Structure 1
Amino acid sequence: MLLILLGVLILHLIILILLIVSTAASAWSVGVDRATDLWYNCKTSSVGYHCSQASNEDWIQAVQALMILSVLFCFFSLVAFLYQLFRLVKGGRFFFTAIFQILASVFVMCGAIIYTVMSPDDPSITQFGYAYVLAWVAFPLCLISGLIYIVLRKKE
C-alpha cells in the first residue's frame, strides 16, 4: 500500500510540475523569429529581442485564467490528499482530492482547446511549442490521477 501511495504522490507532483511549466513557459507558439506564450509575444529582429504583452483579447485572458485555475486546483488537491492521508478514517475514499484533480483536468483541457481554436497565427509560419504540448500531456495524466483517487481507499 505504501508503494501505491508513493506512486500516486509522485504522479501528482509530476502533473503539478507539468502544469506550472506549461503555464509559465514562453513556448505556446513558436516560429522562426518569434515565440508566443500566454503572457508575452516575443520577436527577434536586427535590433535584438523584443517582448510585448499578450493581446487583451478575451480568449487569451480566458486561457490564462483557466491555466492558473488548473495549477491552483492541482495544488489544492495535493494539499487535500496529504490532509486526507492522515485524517481520513480507515476504508475511506479520497473523493475531495479526486474532485479537485478532475476539475484541474477540465480546466487545462478547456484552456488548451480555446488556445487551439482561437490562436490567430498562420500555421505555415508558426507551430505549437513545447508548453502547449505539456498542457495536453498534463490533461490525461490529471484525469487519470483523479480517477485513481476515486478508486483509492485508505488502509492501515
Structure 2
Amino acid sequence: MLVLLAFIIVFHITSAALLFVATIDNAWWVGDEFFADVWRICVNNTNCTEIGDGFTDYATMQAVQATMILSTILCCIAFLIFLLQLFRLKQGERFVLTSIIQLLSCLSVLIAASIYTDRRQELHSQNAALYGQTAEGTYGYSFILAWVAFAFTFISGLMYLILRKRK
C-alpha cells in the first residue's frame, strides 16, 4: 500500500509540474527566429512583446491563460485535499472530493489546449505582421506538455475515484 501511495503522490506532483511548465514556458508555437506562448511573442530571442489589448483576438488568449492558470491551481488544491483526506477519511472511504477537483483540473487544461488548437491559426496569422514574424511554425513542447498534463490529470482523477483508504 505504501508503494501505491508513493506512486500516486509522485504521479500527482508530476501532473502539477507539467501544468506549471506548460503554463509558464514560452514554447506553445515555435518557428524560425520566433516563439510564442499564451503570454508573449518573442522574435530573435530578444524582442519580446507581451500579449495585450493590441493583440488581435485578445479575449481568446485570455481564455486560454485563465483556464491554464485555473487547471494548475485546481491540481495543487486537489493535492492538498488528498493529503488532508489521507489523514481524515475513515478506512474504506473513497477520495471523491480529490477526484472531482482533479477532474475539474483536467477539464480546464482540456479547454485551454482545445481553444488554442482551434484558434492558433487565426491568432498567429493575424498578428504575424504586427509582430514582425511569419505565422509558419510548429507546436512547441509546452503545447505538447499541456496535452500530456491533460492525460495525467485525467488518469490521476480516475485513480482517486477508484482508490479507497486502507491501513
For this structure pair, what is the TM-score category when the shorter chain's length is used for normalisation? Answer: over 0.9
Q: CA deviation at 1:75?
A: 0.1
Q: State the one-letter code of the partner of 1:69.
A: L
Residues in 2 aligned to 1:124 and 1:71: alpha-carbon distance in whole angstroms = 28
Task: State the partner residue of 2:90.
Answer: 89
Q: State the one-letter code of the partner of 2:143.
A: Y
Which segments of 5 or more consecutive residues in structure 2 lack a partner in the other structure? 126-133
Q: CA deviation at 1:54?
A: 1.3
Task: State the partner residue of 1:139.
Answer: 150
Question: In the TM superposition, what are the counterparts of 1:1-156 in structure 2 within 5 Å?
Answer: 1-44=1-44, 49-56=46-53, 57-119=58-120, 120=122, 121=124, 125-156=136-167
Deviations 1:101-122 (A, max 9, x none): 0000000010000001111335
Deviations 1:29-55 (A, max 9, x none): 0010111011111101xxx71011114
Q: CA deviation at 1:124?
A: 7.1
Q: CA deviation at 1:140?
A: 1.1
RMSD (Å) for aligned C-alpha atoms: 1.4
Q: State the one-letter code of the partner of 1:114.
A: I
The alignment of Structure 1 onto Structure 2 pairs a total of residues equal to 153
Deviations 1:80-133 (A, max 9, x none): 000000111111100000001000000001000000111133597111100000
Identical residues among aligned pairs (%): 40
Residues in 1 aligned to 2:47 and 2:61: alpha-carbon distance in whole angstroms = 20
Residues in 2 aligned to 1:83 and 1:104: alpha-carbon distance in whole angstroms = 18
Residues in 2 aligned to 1:51 and 1:10: alpha-carbon distance in whole angstroms = 35
For the residue of structure 1 that corresponds to 2:94, the secondary structure is coil
For the residue of structure 1 that corresponds to 2:47, the secondary structure is strand
Residues in 2 aligned to 1:111 and 1:6: alpha-carbon distance in whole angstroms = 29
Which segments of 5 or more consecutive residues in structure 1 lack a partner in the other structure? none
Moved beyond 2 Å, runs of 4+: 120-124
